[in-house]
Amino acid sequence: MSAIVEEFIAFLGPRVTGQLQGTARLEITGEGALMLDQDGARRAEGDEAADVTLAAAEQVFRNILSGDQNPATAFMMGKLKVDGSLQRALKVSAILTA
C-alpha cells in the first residue's frame, strides 16, 4: 500500500468515525484507494464497492482537506470525479472540509 494512502487513512480515520452512514471510497490517482465508513478509514480491497466513489489526484484531495479547494468547485472543474450517490458525496465533502 502506498505511503500516501496510509497517510490519508491516519488523517481521515478520526474525522469520519461515527460521522458517515454507508460507505465512501476515495481513489487517489496513481496511489490507491481507501474506504470510509462509520468505523473510520481503511485500505480499500481491490474493486470494493461503495455508496459513492470520489476520485482525484493527491493534490486535489490535499487542497480539499486543507480548505484551499472547495469540493463542489473541484467537481465542476472536472478535478474531482463522483460516482454513486450525490447525497452521500455531499456528506463526505462536509466531513472532508470540517
Helix (H, G, I), strand (E, B) or coil at 28: strand
- What gap in Å lies between CA 20 and CA 92, rounded to an integer? 7
CATH no., domain 3-96: 3.30.1050.10
Q: Give the type of residue at 54.
A: L
| Nearest one of 36, 76, 74, 34 to 56, comparing CA atoms | 74
| pTM, 2 dp | 0.93
Q: What are the CA-CA distances from residue 31 to residues 11, 15, 18, 98 (Å)?
A: 16, 21, 26, 24
| Nine cell digits for residue 65 | 482537506
**CB-CB neighbours of 72 under 10 Å:** 12
Ordered per-residue pLDDT tens for the chain, 98 residues? 589 999 999 999 999 999 998 999 999 999 999 999 999 999 999 899 999 999 999 999 999 999 999 999 999 999 999 999 888 898 999 998 88
| Nine cell digits for residue 79 | 478535478
